Amino acid sequence: MKAEITALEAQGLEGEVLDRASGKLIESRGQGQGFQYWEKYGRPPSTRTVERWLKPIEEKRYQASNSRSPGWHSSELVLNTRDGQQIAVKSSNQVWQTDHTKADVLLVDEEGEEIGRPYLTTVIDCHSRCIVGIRLGLAAPSSQVFALALRNAIGSIGIPGS
């Protein structure tokens, strides 16, 4: 609305002519909540009132745009993939996620020489949020480290032949 009034001012309108043009603009936009307020109380809503009206809309928009995982919907978990697809997780062991974390521990040997900081690789069941497999080692995250953590996870759930 402010941009439209600025455009009217840029056309050279001022004073009563600008007020009439603004009034027509307001009437044409009479569907909005702010204009109903204006009609009812005879003045525009305060900045704080408009902020209060817009806050839930902005929060919802921010949450939707920044959410990698929309979350639970009734009895299923909905996850977004990197390429924009949605996966509905309805049961345990349907979808696993992995995470690599450098531990906040510095390992030293018997003589006090630093060995390094280990990496913890976890495999997590998305439905139950349980850790189903881990790998703790000094090797940085790689496909081999991931495969070892996955092997641990498969062994923990008792799949025949693992």
User: Per-residue pLDDT tens for 71-91?
Assistant: 666 667 788 777 777 888 888
Rounded CA separation 52/150 (Å) = 48
User: Per-residue pLDDT tens for 112-122?
Assistant: 999 999 999 99
Considering the chain, what is the average pLDDT of its residues?
Answer: 79
| Strand 71-73, strand 76-80: pairing | antiparallel
Q: Which two tokens stand for residue 7?
A: 């455009």
> Structural domain boundaries of the chain?
2-66, 91-156
Rounded CA separation 17/42 (Å) = 19
Model confidence band, residue 151 (pLDDT cutoffs 50, 70, 90): very high
Residues near 100 by beta carbon (within 8 Å), at least 6 away in sequence: 119, 120, 121, 141, 145
Predicted local confidence at residue 28, as pLDDT? 62
> Which stretch, 10-14, 71-75, 76-80, 131-135, has highest mean pLDDT?
131-135
